[in-house]
Structure 1
């Protein structure tokens, strides 16, 4: 049965045919297997949620006869106990204790069911109503409630798991059902391809990759504990750990997803007018996120042409999937974005590729596989095996012979939702640049998973140089030669080397190397001197 709902708070069609079929996990009657996705779109106000659930038929009217005699708080508690307690007195007592720890039923309900939990937590901090300790407590409580309300069997359940086909070591995994967030770009290739090509399954995981709309959503979902692991921009774990752009939240960069793989794309109306960085003066330029290699590389490039990135141009965050539409509409004149959106702009005759970022810094990191300190601590065996699967997938993707197969697998609607020829052009490096040239650049994108500590030091040096928050916080955090300390705290280089060796790869023994960029050379042992020299040379 499909019903159409149009209330003050929701407007959608819902397939209720699965309500008569017991859930294969918990035995209860509820929405289909993807009901957790639907819950994310439900009203934020608990009373509205109860009303809509009743209208949808998920809860029968007689289940809420007490509504005439109890207040809203009682209704909130009833729904929490019904969904999280599942009729088990011990679980109900745990739920009530968690609510108490959260500071009341309202806070607990918002933490468990609010579809913008990241904003809930962020607003709590910004309002200053709670101490950092209370914030972290609420975060933990919210994660615990979310766990209780999903339909996975509880520790006391008798459900048996068939491990007859499980790979070696799978019985040691703390968690096998995983949700891994990704942005639909080619940088996420190892994370995405591991689902259709079986790398997750090989290591004993029932893993689902979850498409996210923006990097802000990835960050908020990470803080809220809504995902197990995630595809992140390489600077994000450093920024989040230092509390830049959000409250401080410990994240580890476990392995690098891709090197190179980005480009500066310019609207077609500027053909013949753009020859170097100085020609971008006055432009509106899109980047996917403030704390991204895209923003840092763009600033580095513009500054060499005498352009002050904070005064002579306007740089703003644009979700990659929106970049071409904004380029066509004239909202932005150019962008430095991940692929396939540079190649897609050429395909749509909307823009031309001015410069691949591998020309700015050959072998630079872009995106990474990451997980929170808290999740890693709670699931050490799972984290190790998951990272190993990603590293092995990256090695597979690094082989040019495998890329046509990968392009076909990740182009599907559930993943990149792009024409296969566009994705294949990026992965193989055989492409048209929009200027009438056919290029053959096999290393347009690479998949070397090794997280060099020199990458971390360069990223930190540019965060210091540009002070993106404008409050000097990053200078304080990395002052007094703390570049190495920050890098080793966030980049898990030693573990990545160990896991790469286990899957037959040959990672470097060193953790630092001199990085050669287009306009200078970076000595990772002297990051602050590098920043000082840049400012002296270019004035910014």
Structure 2
């Protein structure tokens, strides 16, 4: 078999697991792919390398392909999402100081109560809440807007959104730069362990099946390499299926912890894979069903309806025509490639409207 060499950028988050497992357990090699994983320091660095062709594909925040295709941000390019890599997996947390104030006011942390938590935050805030997110075009920002502005009637003046790369989130909390944060695991757990933060809510309590990460490629690359795209989808689908089996969790943690991947201790990675979060250093683990999914509930299907919602959000933030933004967004999520890759091997695919 002739091996096709491809480079994939990723950020060290638990939800890059399908890519790492596809390489380490040879799902990619079985499809004839010599997959090289290239760790990136930030989403902006990953975006630029993909746009410039320094990498072939990327582990991306789900709004990134849409934003780049709409010409938003520093490096516009036509980007396709071949599949969804994960749903959910984000946490919202508060600094030690804000957490103590919330509890002093009588708030009880169940890690499951968005309405009660937003009310407590509003009462405790003495000024604009400085909230860290990993990137301006992210599901984190969409979730915060759904939660605070649409459901809790926060005034936007009560919030200051600050961009902080995921690996630096814990330090930003510890140094008093942030009051709150929304980030993907393991960096919420790291903030608890290193900065005394308290995790107050999983993203899944705001949107039950939020598409968190996608497999992004340049549109022209996808058109020029259709067989490679289909092989990629099959390899990563198999890796995601493997991750969805509970008996594989211990091995998955060991693989992800390696220094070329997340380079973190097992105890920082394991909670998310077991849907069992340690919300604060003084509390017992909290079970949070559906916290992070790699395969169940048609996780990997690139729903164009979800893309349209992302396009609508980006349009509202940047004054774009909503119909145009939704059209571009829908074209980015390549359900056609996904179907072509998996239908021949007997995968049951969604039949509803995309």
Q: Give the alignment of 1:414-453 within 5 angstroms.
A: 414-434=260-280, 436-447=283-294, 448-453=299-304
Distance 1:486 1:330, change over 3 A: same
Residue 166 of structure 2 is aligned to residue 288 of structure 1: no
Q: Give the alignment of 1:215-226 within 5 angstroms.
A: 215-226=43-54
SS at match of 1:366: strand
> Displacement of 1:349 after TM fit?
5.3
Quick check: 2:199–2:279 contact (8 Å CA) kept in 1? yes
Paired position in structure 2 for 1:458: 309
Residue 327 of structure 2 is aligned to residue 499 of structure 1: no
> Displacement of 1:439 after TM fit?
1.4
Paired position in structure 1 for 2:108: none
Which structure ranks higher in relative contact order (CA pairs < 8 Å, sequence separation ≥ 6)?
Answer: 2
> Displacement of 1:339 after TM fit?
0.5
Separation of aligned partners in 1, 2:289 and 2:270: 11
1:483-510 Cα offsets, whole Å, 9 max, x none, are 6522331001132234334455323112
Distance 1:501 1:268, change over 3 A: farther
Paired position in structure 2 for 1:488: 330
> Displacement of 1:405 after TM fit?
1.5
Task: Report the more deviating stretch, 358-367 or 296-305.
Answer: 296-305
Paired position in structure 1 for 2:352: 510
Distance 1:319 1:307, change over 3 A: same
Quick check: 1:233–1:366 contact (8 Å CA) kept in 2? yes
Paired position in structure 2 for 1:235: 63
Quick check: 1:404–1:428 contact (8 Å CA) kept in 2? no
SS at match of 1:206: strand
Separation of aligned partners in 1, 2:347 and 2:96: 42
> Displacement of 1:203 after TM fit?
1.1
> Displacement of 1:210 after TM fit?
0.4
Separation of aligned partners in 2, 1:431 and 1:445: 11
Separation of aligned partners in 1, 2:194 and 2:42: 22
Specify every segment of 5 or more residues in structure 1 that has no aligned partner in the other structure, as ranges: 1-165, 513-540
1:156-199 Cα offsets, whole Å, 9 max, x none, are xxxxxxxxxx3xxxx4xxx7121100000012111122222212
Separation of aligned partners in 2, 1:500 and 1:443: 24
Paired position in structure 1 for 2:12: 184
Specify every segment of 5 or more residues in structure 2 that has no aligned partner in the other structure, as ranges: 103-115
> Displacement of 1:294 after TM fit?
0.5
Paired position in structure 1 for 2:77: 249
Answer with 1 or 2: which has the greater Rg. 1
Separation of aligned partners in 1, 2:324 and 2:172: 39
Distance 1:399 1:506, change over 3 A: farther
Q: How many residues align?
A: 330
Separation of aligned partners in 1, 2:252 and 2:353: 30
Q: Give the alignment of 1:196-215 within 5 angstroms.
A: 196-215=24-43
Residue 206 of structure 2 is aligned to residue 354 of structure 1: no
TM-score (norm 2): 0.88
Distance 1:252 1:261, change over 3 A: same
Separation of aligned partners in 2, 1:221 and 1:409: 25
Paired position in structure 2 for 1:326: 172
Quick check: 1:259–1:446 contact (8 Å CA) kept in 2? yes
Paired position in structure 2 for 1:316: 162
Q: What's the Cα RMSD here? A: 1.9
Separation of aligned partners in 2, 1:458 and 1:367: 15
SS at match of 1:506: coil
Paired position in structure 2 for 1:277: 118
SS at match of 1:257: strand
Q: Give the alignment of 1:355-434 within 5 angstroms.
A: 355-434=201-280
